[in-house]
Structure 1
Amino acid sequence: MMTKNKTAAKKTEDQSVVYKVPAAFVLMIVVIYAFWKLGGYYSTVEGFTALYPMFCVQRYVFLALTAAELVLCVLLKNGLARTICRYWLAAFALLFVSSLILSIFWTGNMIVIYLLHALVYCLYMVWQLYHSEFFTFSLVTASAGVVFYLIARTSYMANRIAGSALLALILIGTALTAFLCAKNHGKLNLGSRMLRLFPDGFNPLLFYFICVLWAVVLAACLIFGSGFAFYAMFAAIAVELIGAVYYTFQLK
Protein backbone atom coordinates (compact mmCIF):
# COMPACT_ATOMS: atom_id res chain seq x y z
CA MET A 1 0.00 0.00 0.00
CA MET A 2 2.81 2.40 0.91
CA THR A 3 4.57 1.65 -2.38
CA LYS A 4 1.39 2.39 -4.31
CA ASN A 5 0.96 5.70 -2.46
CA LYS A 6 4.53 6.70 -3.23
CA THR A 7 4.07 5.78 -6.88
CA ALA A 8 0.85 7.79 -7.09
CA ALA A 9 2.50 10.79 -5.40
CA LYS A 10 5.45 10.59 -7.80
CA LYS A 11 3.12 10.39 -10.79
CA THR A 12 1.17 13.43 -9.57
CA GLU A 13 4.42 15.34 -9.07
CA ASP A 14 5.60 14.47 -12.58
CA GLN A 15 2.28 15.59 -14.07
CA SER A 16 2.40 18.88 -12.16
CA VAL A 17 5.56 19.83 -14.05
CA VAL A 18 3.41 20.27 -17.16
CA TYR A 19 1.71 23.18 -15.41
CA LYS A 20 4.52 24.51 -13.22
CA VAL A 21 7.06 25.14 -15.98
CA PRO A 22 4.78 27.12 -18.36
CA ALA A 23 3.35 29.01 -15.37
CA ALA A 24 6.84 29.94 -14.21
CA PHE A 25 7.80 31.09 -17.72
CA VAL A 26 4.70 33.27 -18.07
CA LEU A 27 5.18 34.70 -14.59
CA MET A 28 8.80 35.52 -15.39
CA ILE A 29 7.76 37.50 -18.48
CA VAL A 30 5.01 39.31 -16.56
CA VAL A 31 7.29 40.21 -13.64
CA ILE A 32 10.12 41.49 -15.84
CA TYR A 33 7.65 43.51 -17.92
CA ALA A 34 6.13 44.94 -14.72
CA PHE A 35 9.56 46.03 -13.48
CA TRP A 36 10.32 47.53 -16.90
CA LYS A 37 7.15 49.64 -16.71
CA LEU A 38 7.90 50.50 -13.09
CA GLY A 39 11.40 51.61 -14.06
CA GLY A 40 9.99 53.86 -16.78
CA TYR A 41 7.73 55.62 -14.30
CA TYR A 42 10.40 55.71 -11.58
CA SER A 43 12.81 57.47 -13.96
CA THR A 44 10.56 60.55 -14.03
CA VAL A 45 10.61 63.25 -11.37
CA GLU A 46 7.02 62.48 -10.45
CA GLY A 47 7.73 58.76 -10.19
CA PHE A 48 10.86 59.25 -8.11
CA THR A 49 9.05 61.56 -5.70
CA ALA A 50 6.21 59.08 -5.27
CA LEU A 51 8.12 55.79 -5.17
CA TYR A 52 11.50 56.48 -3.55
CA PRO A 53 10.17 56.80 0.04
CA MET A 54 8.11 53.64 -0.51
CA PHE A 55 11.13 51.63 -1.69
CA CYS A 56 13.14 52.80 1.32
CA VAL A 57 10.47 51.35 3.62
CA GLN A 58 9.74 48.26 1.53
CA ARG A 59 13.31 46.98 1.63
CA TYR A 60 13.08 46.60 5.42
CA VAL A 61 9.58 45.13 5.25
CA PHE A 62 10.59 42.53 2.67
CA LEU A 63 13.77 41.75 4.62
CA ALA A 64 11.69 41.03 7.73
CA LEU A 65 9.24 38.92 5.73
CA THR A 66 12.12 36.97 4.18
CA ALA A 67 13.56 36.24 7.62
CA ALA A 68 10.14 35.19 8.92
CA GLU A 69 9.56 32.81 6.01
CA LEU A 70 13.02 31.34 6.47
CA VAL A 71 12.24 30.58 10.11
CA LEU A 72 8.91 29.01 9.13
CA CYS A 73 10.61 26.82 6.51
CA VAL A 74 12.88 25.47 9.24
CA LEU A 75 10.24 25.01 11.93
CA LEU A 76 7.24 23.70 9.99
CA LYS A 77 6.87 19.94 9.71
CA ASN A 78 4.00 19.72 7.23
CA GLY A 79 5.29 19.14 3.71
CA LEU A 80 2.71 21.28 1.91
CA ALA A 81 3.13 24.16 4.36
CA ARG A 82 6.91 24.09 3.93
CA THR A 83 6.55 24.07 0.15
CA ILE A 84 4.29 27.13 0.26
CA CYS A 85 6.73 28.86 2.62
CA ARG A 86 9.60 28.19 0.23
CA TYR A 87 7.71 29.90 -2.60
CA TRP A 88 6.98 32.93 -0.41
CA LEU A 89 10.59 32.95 0.79
CA ALA A 90 11.85 33.19 -2.79
CA ALA A 91 9.29 35.89 -3.65
CA PHE A 92 10.08 38.05 -0.62
CA ALA A 93 13.83 37.65 -1.15
CA LEU A 94 13.51 38.80 -4.77
CA LEU A 95 11.35 41.76 -3.75
CA PHE A 96 13.80 42.71 -1.00
CA VAL A 97 16.76 42.76 -3.38
CA SER A 98 14.73 44.60 -6.04
CA SER A 99 13.54 47.31 -3.63
CA LEU A 100 17.08 47.64 -2.24
CA ILE A 101 18.50 48.18 -5.73
CA LEU A 102 15.77 50.68 -6.65
CA SER A 103 16.30 52.65 -3.45
CA ILE A 104 20.09 52.83 -3.83
CA PHE A 105 20.72 53.05 -7.58
CA TRP A 106 17.44 54.65 -8.76
CA THR A 107 16.94 53.22 -12.30
CA GLY A 108 20.64 52.91 -13.10
CA ASN A 109 20.77 49.25 -12.18
CA MET A 110 17.52 47.89 -13.60
CA ILE A 111 19.46 45.32 -15.63
CA VAL A 112 20.45 43.58 -12.38
CA ILE A 113 16.79 43.26 -11.39
CA TYR A 114 15.89 41.80 -14.80
CA LEU A 115 18.77 39.32 -14.72
CA LEU A 116 18.13 38.32 -11.12
CA HIS A 117 14.47 37.51 -11.71
CA ALA A 118 15.22 35.72 -14.99
CA LEU A 119 17.93 33.65 -13.28
CA VAL A 120 15.69 32.56 -10.40
CA TYR A 121 12.74 31.65 -12.61
CA CYS A 122 14.92 29.77 -15.10
CA LEU A 123 16.59 27.82 -12.31
CA TYR A 124 13.17 26.91 -10.96
CA MET A 125 12.17 25.57 -14.38
CA VAL A 126 15.42 23.61 -14.59
CA TRP A 127 14.73 22.11 -11.17
CA GLN A 128 11.26 21.01 -12.22
CA LEU A 129 12.50 19.43 -15.44
CA TYR A 130 15.87 17.96 -14.45
CA HIS A 131 16.13 18.07 -10.64
CA SER A 132 19.35 18.11 -8.66
CA GLU A 133 22.39 17.50 -10.85
CA PHE A 134 21.63 19.78 -13.80
CA PHE A 135 20.09 22.31 -11.41
CA THR A 136 23.39 22.51 -9.52
CA PHE A 137 25.32 22.69 -12.78
CA SER A 138 23.03 25.50 -13.99
CA LEU A 139 23.16 27.36 -10.67
CA VAL A 140 26.93 27.61 -10.93
CA THR A 141 27.20 28.23 -14.67
CA ALA A 142 24.27 30.64 -15.07
CA SER A 143 25.36 32.63 -12.01
CA ALA A 144 28.85 32.84 -13.49
CA GLY A 145 27.45 34.08 -16.80
CA VAL A 146 25.40 36.79 -15.07
CA VAL A 147 28.39 37.98 -13.04
CA PHE A 148 30.61 38.04 -16.13
CA TYR A 149 27.98 40.15 -17.87
CA LEU A 150 27.89 42.59 -14.96
CA ILE A 151 31.66 42.90 -15.03
CA ALA A 152 31.65 43.41 -18.80
CA ARG A 153 28.67 45.72 -19.27
CA THR A 154 27.94 47.70 -16.10
CA SER A 155 29.93 50.61 -14.73
CA TYR A 156 29.02 50.28 -11.06
CA MET A 157 31.90 48.96 -8.98
CA ALA A 158 29.31 47.66 -6.51
CA ASN A 159 28.07 45.24 -9.18
CA ARG A 160 31.53 43.82 -9.66
CA ILE A 161 32.28 43.50 -5.96
CA ALA A 162 28.90 42.10 -4.91
CA GLY A 163 28.61 39.84 -7.96
CA SER A 164 32.12 38.45 -7.55
CA ALA A 165 31.61 37.84 -3.83
CA LEU A 166 28.27 36.12 -4.42
CA LEU A 167 29.70 33.93 -7.18
CA ALA A 168 32.64 32.99 -4.96
CA LEU A 169 30.23 31.92 -2.21
CA ILE A 170 28.17 29.88 -4.69
CA LEU A 171 31.29 28.13 -6.02
CA ILE A 172 32.63 27.33 -2.55
CA GLY A 173 29.22 26.24 -1.28
CA THR A 174 28.58 24.02 -4.30
CA ALA A 175 31.96 22.31 -4.11
CA LEU A 176 31.62 21.76 -0.35
CA THR A 177 28.07 20.42 -0.68
CA ALA A 178 29.11 18.03 -3.46
CA PHE A 179 32.00 16.80 -1.32
CA LEU A 180 29.79 16.17 1.73
CA CYS A 181 27.08 14.48 -0.34
CA ALA A 182 29.61 12.21 -2.06
CA LYS A 183 30.61 10.85 1.36
CA ASN A 184 26.99 9.94 2.18
CA HIS A 185 25.79 8.47 -1.15
CA GLY A 186 24.18 11.71 -2.35
CA LYS A 187 22.78 12.77 1.02
CA LEU A 188 23.68 15.86 3.04
CA ASN A 189 24.03 15.28 6.77
CA LEU A 190 22.14 17.99 8.67
CA GLY A 191 22.66 16.56 12.12
CA SER A 192 19.43 14.85 13.04
CA ARG A 193 18.30 14.37 9.43
CA MET A 194 19.73 13.34 6.11
CA LEU A 195 18.67 15.36 3.08
CA ARG A 196 19.00 13.69 -0.31
CA LEU A 197 20.31 16.19 -2.84
CA PHE A 198 21.81 13.89 -5.47
CA PRO A 199 21.16 10.33 -6.66
CA ASP A 200 23.05 7.52 -5.00
CA GLY A 201 26.48 7.06 -6.54
CA PHE A 202 26.71 10.45 -8.27
CA ASN A 203 30.17 11.63 -9.30
CA PRO A 204 31.18 14.98 -7.72
CA LEU A 205 34.19 15.46 -10.02
CA LEU A 206 32.13 17.40 -12.58
CA PHE A 207 31.08 19.90 -9.92
CA TYR A 208 34.65 20.26 -8.65
CA PHE A 209 35.82 20.91 -12.19
CA ILE A 210 33.10 23.44 -13.05
CA CYS A 211 33.60 25.32 -9.76
CA VAL A 212 37.36 25.54 -10.27
CA LEU A 213 36.85 26.55 -13.91
CA TRP A 214 34.59 29.49 -13.10
CA ALA A 215 36.76 30.52 -10.15
CA VAL A 216 39.77 30.78 -12.48
CA VAL A 217 37.72 32.63 -15.12
CA LEU A 218 36.36 35.02 -12.47
CA ALA A 219 39.88 35.83 -11.32
CA ALA A 220 40.90 36.41 -14.95
CA CYS A 221 37.91 38.73 -15.47
CA LEU A 222 38.89 40.82 -12.46
CA ILE A 223 42.49 40.99 -13.68
CA PHE A 224 41.97 41.58 -17.40
CA GLY A 225 38.77 43.62 -17.19
CA SER A 226 35.55 43.96 -19.12
CA GLY A 227 36.89 42.81 -22.49
CA PHE A 228 37.80 39.38 -21.17
CA ALA A 229 34.58 39.19 -19.13
CA PHE A 230 32.50 39.76 -22.27
CA TYR A 231 33.95 36.65 -23.93
CA ALA A 232 33.73 34.72 -20.65
CA MET A 233 30.00 35.40 -20.62
CA PHE A 234 29.61 33.68 -24.00
CA ALA A 235 31.76 30.81 -22.75
CA ALA A 236 29.34 30.36 -19.83
CA ILE A 237 26.39 30.34 -22.24
CA ALA A 238 28.10 27.70 -24.38
CA VAL A 239 28.88 25.51 -21.36
CA GLU A 240 25.27 25.80 -20.15
CA LEU A 241 23.97 24.71 -23.56
CA ILE A 242 26.36 21.75 -23.63
CA GLY A 243 25.20 20.78 -20.15
CA ALA A 244 21.56 21.05 -21.23
CA VAL A 245 22.15 18.68 -24.15
CA TYR A 246 24.07 16.22 -21.98
CA TYR A 247 21.55 16.09 -19.14
CA THR A 248 18.63 15.93 -21.57
CA PHE A 249 20.05 12.72 -23.00
CA GLN A 250 20.52 11.44 -19.44
CA LEU A 251 16.79 11.71 -18.72
CA LYS A 252 14.99 8.40 -18.52
Structure 2
Amino acid sequence: MSTDPSPFQLVPGAPGSPVVLHVPHSSRTIPERVRHGIVLDDEALEAELDHITDSHTAELAAGASAACAVTPWRFVNGLSRLVVDPERFPDDREEMLAAGMGAVYTRTTHRARLRPPGTDPQPLLDRYFHPYAAAMTAAVDERIAATGRAVVIDVHSYPSAALPYELHGTGPRPPVCLGTDGFHTPPGLLARAEAAFAGFGGTGLDSPFPGTYVPLEHYGTDRRVSALMIEIRRDLYMAEPGGPAGPGLEALASALAGLVDGLADS
Protein backbone atom coordinates (compact mmCIF):
# COMPACT_ATOMS: atom_id res chain seq x y z
CA MET A 1 0.00 0.00 0.00
CA SER A 2 1.41 3.39 -0.98
CA THR A 3 1.64 6.14 1.61
CA ASP A 4 1.47 9.88 1.21
CA PRO A 5 4.67 11.93 1.33
CA SER A 6 5.05 14.06 4.44
CA PRO A 7 2.39 16.78 4.23
CA PHE A 8 4.40 19.35 6.19
CA GLN A 9 7.53 19.76 8.27
CA LEU A 10 8.40 21.94 11.24
CA VAL A 11 12.15 22.55 11.16
CA PRO A 12 13.33 23.56 14.65
CA GLY A 13 15.15 26.82 15.19
CA ALA A 14 16.76 28.43 18.19
CA PRO A 15 14.73 28.00 21.40
CA GLY A 16 14.70 31.77 21.90
CA SER A 17 13.58 32.74 18.41
CA PRO A 18 9.99 34.00 18.04
CA VAL A 19 10.14 33.79 14.23
CA VAL A 20 8.38 31.17 12.12
CA LEU A 21 9.20 31.25 8.41
CA HIS A 22 6.08 29.83 6.77
CA VAL A 23 6.59 28.32 3.30
CA PRO A 24 3.21 27.06 2.05
CA HIS A 25 3.49 26.98 -1.76
CA SER A 26 6.98 25.74 -2.68
CA SER A 27 6.26 22.06 -3.39
CA ARG A 28 5.20 20.37 -6.63
CA THR A 29 4.37 17.04 -4.93
CA ILE A 30 0.89 15.60 -5.45
CA PRO A 31 0.05 12.21 -3.87
CA GLU A 32 -1.22 9.65 -6.35
CA ARG A 33 -4.58 9.43 -4.56
CA VAL A 34 -5.06 13.16 -5.20
CA ARG A 35 -3.74 13.03 -8.76
CA HIS A 36 -6.62 10.71 -9.67
CA GLY A 37 -9.07 13.51 -8.93
CA ILE A 38 -7.39 16.02 -11.27
CA VAL A 39 -8.63 16.15 -14.86
CA LEU A 40 -5.45 17.57 -16.46
CA ASP A 41 -3.19 15.26 -18.42
CA ASP A 42 0.44 14.97 -17.32
CA GLU A 43 1.74 17.69 -19.64
CA ALA A 44 -0.96 20.16 -18.68
CA LEU A 45 -0.45 19.41 -14.99
CA GLU A 46 3.29 20.07 -15.22
CA ALA A 47 2.57 23.38 -16.95
CA GLU A 48 0.10 24.30 -14.23
CA LEU A 49 2.64 23.44 -11.54
CA ASP A 50 5.13 25.75 -13.26
CA HIS A 51 2.69 28.64 -12.88
CA ILE A 52 1.14 27.93 -9.48
CA THR A 53 4.23 26.86 -7.50
CA ASP A 54 6.31 29.39 -5.58
CA SER A 55 9.42 27.68 -6.84
CA HIS A 56 12.61 27.73 -4.76
CA THR A 57 11.00 29.52 -1.79
CA ALA A 58 11.82 26.56 0.47
CA GLU A 59 15.47 26.93 -0.56
CA LEU A 60 15.22 30.67 0.04
CA ALA A 61 13.93 30.15 3.58
CA ALA A 62 16.54 27.47 4.27
CA GLY A 63 19.34 29.71 3.02
CA ALA A 64 18.12 32.59 5.14
CA SER A 65 17.88 30.37 8.21
CA ALA A 66 21.44 29.14 7.75
CA ALA A 67 22.68 32.72 7.56
CA CYS A 68 20.88 33.94 10.68
CA ALA A 69 22.65 34.57 13.94
CA VAL A 70 19.50 33.34 15.72
CA THR A 71 17.99 30.52 13.70
CA PRO A 72 14.26 30.91 13.03
CA TRP A 73 11.79 28.05 12.96
CA ARG A 74 10.50 26.93 9.56
CA PHE A 75 7.12 25.45 8.74
CA VAL A 76 7.26 24.04 5.22
CA ASN A 77 4.42 22.53 3.21
CA GLY A 78 5.58 19.27 1.61
CA LEU A 79 2.66 19.11 -0.83
CA SER A 80 1.57 21.23 -3.77
CA ARG A 81 -1.14 23.81 -3.21
CA LEU A 82 -3.06 21.84 -5.85
CA VAL A 83 -3.71 19.31 -3.07
CA VAL A 84 -5.10 21.93 -0.69
CA ASP A 85 -4.13 25.54 -0.23
CA PRO A 86 -3.48 25.92 3.52
CA GLU A 87 -3.79 29.70 3.31
CA ARG A 88 -7.38 29.78 2.07
CA PHE A 89 -10.46 29.74 4.22
CA PRO A 90 -12.30 26.42 3.76
CA ASP A 91 -15.66 28.20 3.42
CA ASP A 92 -17.29 31.08 1.57
CA ARG A 93 -15.51 33.83 3.51
CA GLU A 94 -12.66 33.58 1.03
CA GLU A 95 -13.14 35.59 -2.18
CA MET A 96 -10.93 33.19 -4.12
CA LEU A 97 -13.60 30.52 -3.70
CA ALA A 98 -15.66 32.29 -6.35
CA ALA A 99 -12.73 31.99 -8.76
CA GLY A 100 -12.48 28.25 -8.18
CA MET A 101 -9.40 28.67 -6.01
CA GLY A 102 -10.60 28.23 -2.46
CA ALA A 103 -9.01 25.75 -0.07
CA VAL A 104 -9.49 23.03 -2.71
CA TYR A 105 -8.93 24.38 -6.21
CA THR A 106 -11.41 23.53 -8.94
CA ARG A 107 -9.85 25.82 -11.58
CA THR A 108 -6.31 26.46 -12.81
CA THR A 109 -4.35 29.70 -13.02
CA HIS A 110 -5.77 30.09 -16.54
CA ARG A 111 -9.31 29.27 -15.35
CA ALA A 112 -9.45 25.86 -16.99
CA ARG A 113 -11.14 23.04 -15.09
CA LEU A 114 -8.87 21.29 -12.59
CA ARG A 115 -11.33 18.90 -10.92
CA PRO A 116 -14.62 17.41 -12.10
CA PRO A 117 -17.84 19.33 -11.44
CA GLY A 118 -19.35 18.47 -8.07
CA THR A 119 -16.08 17.33 -6.49
CA ASP A 120 -16.56 17.07 -2.73
CA PRO A 121 -13.72 19.00 -1.04
CA GLN A 122 -14.33 17.55 2.41
CA PRO A 123 -12.08 14.47 2.16
CA LEU A 124 -9.13 16.66 1.12
CA LEU A 125 -9.89 19.18 3.86
CA ASP A 126 -10.07 16.44 6.48
CA ARG A 127 -6.93 14.63 5.30
CA TYR A 128 -4.67 17.61 4.56
CA PHE A 129 -6.06 21.06 5.35
CA HIS A 130 -7.20 20.69 8.96
CA PRO A 131 -4.12 18.78 10.19
CA TYR A 132 -1.90 21.42 8.57
CA ALA A 133 -3.81 24.24 10.25
CA ALA A 134 -3.64 22.49 13.62
CA ALA A 135 0.12 21.92 13.31
CA MET A 136 0.78 25.52 12.28
CA THR A 137 -1.33 26.75 15.20
CA ALA A 138 0.69 24.54 17.54
CA ALA A 139 3.96 25.91 16.13
CA VAL A 140 2.80 29.47 16.82
CA ASP A 141 1.60 28.53 20.30
CA GLU A 142 5.00 27.00 21.04
CA ARG A 143 6.79 30.22 20.08
CA ILE A 144 4.45 32.22 22.31
CA ALA A 145 5.05 29.83 25.20
CA ALA A 146 8.82 30.01 24.73
CA THR A 147 9.28 33.72 23.97
CA GLY A 148 6.04 35.49 24.78
CA ARG A 149 5.32 36.24 21.13
CA ALA A 150 5.36 34.81 17.61
CA VAL A 151 6.33 36.47 14.33
CA VAL A 152 5.05 34.67 11.24
CA ILE A 153 6.90 35.57 8.05
CA ASP A 154 5.06 34.15 5.05
CA VAL A 155 7.50 33.39 2.20
CA HIS A 156 5.99 33.51 -1.30
CA SER A 157 6.78 34.44 -4.89
CA TYR A 158 4.68 35.67 -7.78
CA PRO A 159 5.03 35.92 -11.57
CA SER A 160 6.22 39.10 -13.25
CA ALA A 161 3.14 39.08 -15.53
CA ALA A 162 -0.36 38.66 -14.11
CA LEU A 163 -2.10 35.33 -14.56
CA PRO A 164 -5.82 35.13 -15.38
CA TYR A 165 -6.82 33.87 -11.93
CA GLU A 166 -5.50 36.95 -10.12
CA LEU A 167 -8.30 39.09 -8.72
CA HIS A 168 -6.05 42.12 -8.27
CA GLY A 169 -3.68 41.59 -11.17
CA THR A 170 -4.02 45.08 -12.65
CA GLY A 171 -2.23 46.77 -9.75
CA PRO A 172 1.48 47.39 -9.21
CA ARG A 173 3.88 44.44 -9.36
CA PRO A 174 6.89 45.65 -7.34
CA PRO A 175 10.06 43.58 -7.00
CA VAL A 176 8.98 42.72 -3.45
CA CYS A 177 5.35 42.94 -2.37
CA LEU A 178 4.76 43.12 1.37
CA GLY A 179 1.37 41.75 2.40
CA THR A 180 0.02 43.24 5.60
CA ASP A 181 -2.82 42.91 8.08
CA GLY A 182 -4.25 45.87 9.97
CA PHE A 183 -4.25 43.97 13.26
CA HIS A 184 -1.18 41.73 13.01
CA THR A 185 1.38 43.81 11.08
CA PRO A 186 2.84 46.47 13.38
CA PRO A 187 4.61 49.48 11.83
CA GLY A 188 8.00 48.37 13.14
CA LEU A 189 7.79 45.00 11.42
CA LEU A 190 6.82 46.60 8.13
CA ALA A 191 9.61 49.18 8.38
CA ARG A 192 12.22 46.49 9.01
CA ALA A 193 11.04 44.55 5.96
CA GLU A 194 11.09 47.63 3.75
CA ALA A 195 14.66 48.35 4.84
CA ALA A 196 15.77 44.72 4.41
CA PHE A 197 14.55 44.51 0.79
CA ALA A 198 15.25 48.10 -0.27
CA GLY A 199 18.17 47.04 -2.45
CA PHE A 200 16.09 45.06 -4.93
CA GLY A 201 14.42 47.94 -6.72
CA GLY A 202 11.74 48.82 -4.21
CA THR A 203 8.93 47.32 -2.19
CA GLY A 204 5.18 47.79 -2.41
CA LEU A 205 2.24 47.09 -0.15
CA ASP A 206 -0.56 44.58 -0.73
CA SER A 207 -0.35 44.53 -4.53
CA PRO A 208 -0.80 42.27 -6.33
CA PHE A 209 -1.46 40.10 -3.26
CA PRO A 210 -2.74 41.54 0.03
CA GLY A 211 -2.82 40.17 3.54
CA THR A 212 -0.78 37.63 5.45
CA TYR A 213 -1.21 34.31 7.21
CA VAL A 214 -2.22 34.03 10.86
CA PRO A 215 -3.78 30.89 12.36
CA LEU A 216 -7.51 31.40 12.80
CA GLU A 217 -7.26 30.72 16.53
CA HIS A 218 -5.19 33.90 16.86
CA TYR A 219 -6.55 35.96 13.98
CA GLY A 220 -7.82 39.38 14.94
CA THR A 221 -7.65 38.71 18.68
CA ASP A 222 -4.07 37.99 19.78
CA ARG A 223 -1.53 40.79 19.43
CA ARG A 224 1.23 38.50 20.60
CA VAL A 225 1.15 37.19 17.03
CA SER A 226 2.55 39.53 14.38
CA ALA A 227 2.74 38.61 10.72
CA LEU A 228 3.95 39.77 7.32
CA MET A 229 3.78 38.21 3.86
CA ILE A 230 6.81 38.57 1.59
CA GLU A 231 5.98 38.08 -2.12
CA ILE A 232 9.09 38.13 -4.30
CA ARG A 233 8.64 38.73 -8.02
CA ARG A 234 10.05 35.68 -9.73
CA ASP A 235 12.16 37.42 -12.34
CA LEU A 236 14.42 38.57 -9.50
CA TYR A 237 15.72 35.08 -8.83
CA MET A 238 14.56 32.43 -11.33
CA ALA A 239 13.70 31.63 -14.94
CA GLU A 240 9.94 31.87 -15.33
CA PRO A 241 7.54 30.18 -15.25
CA GLY A 242 9.06 27.14 -13.53
CA GLY A 243 12.76 27.14 -14.34
CA PRO A 244 15.93 27.03 -12.26
CA ALA A 245 16.97 29.53 -9.63
CA GLY A 246 19.55 32.16 -10.47
CA PRO A 247 22.09 34.19 -8.50
CA GLY A 248 19.39 36.47 -7.10
CA LEU A 249 18.27 33.73 -4.72
CA GLU A 250 21.35 34.05 -2.52
CA ALA A 251 21.02 37.83 -2.22
CA LEU A 252 17.34 37.52 -1.31
CA ALA A 253 18.16 34.90 1.31
CA SER A 254 20.69 37.28 2.81
CA ALA A 255 18.10 40.07 2.93
CA LEU A 256 15.57 37.76 4.59
CA ALA A 257 18.19 36.71 7.13
CA GLY A 258 18.82 40.35 7.97
CA LEU A 259 15.11 40.89 8.58
CA VAL A 260 14.83 37.79 10.77
CA ASP A 261 17.85 38.66 12.90
CA GLY A 262 16.43 42.12 13.51
CA LEU A 263 13.15 40.61 14.67
CA ALA A 264 14.84 38.20 17.06
CA ASP A 265 16.18 41.12 19.06
CA SER A 266 13.23 43.51 18.83
Q: TM-score, normalised by structure 1?
A: 0.32
Q: TM-score, normalised by structure 2?
A: 0.31
Flag the structure with more relative contact order, 1 or 2, with Cα contacts below 8 A and sequence separation at least 6: 2
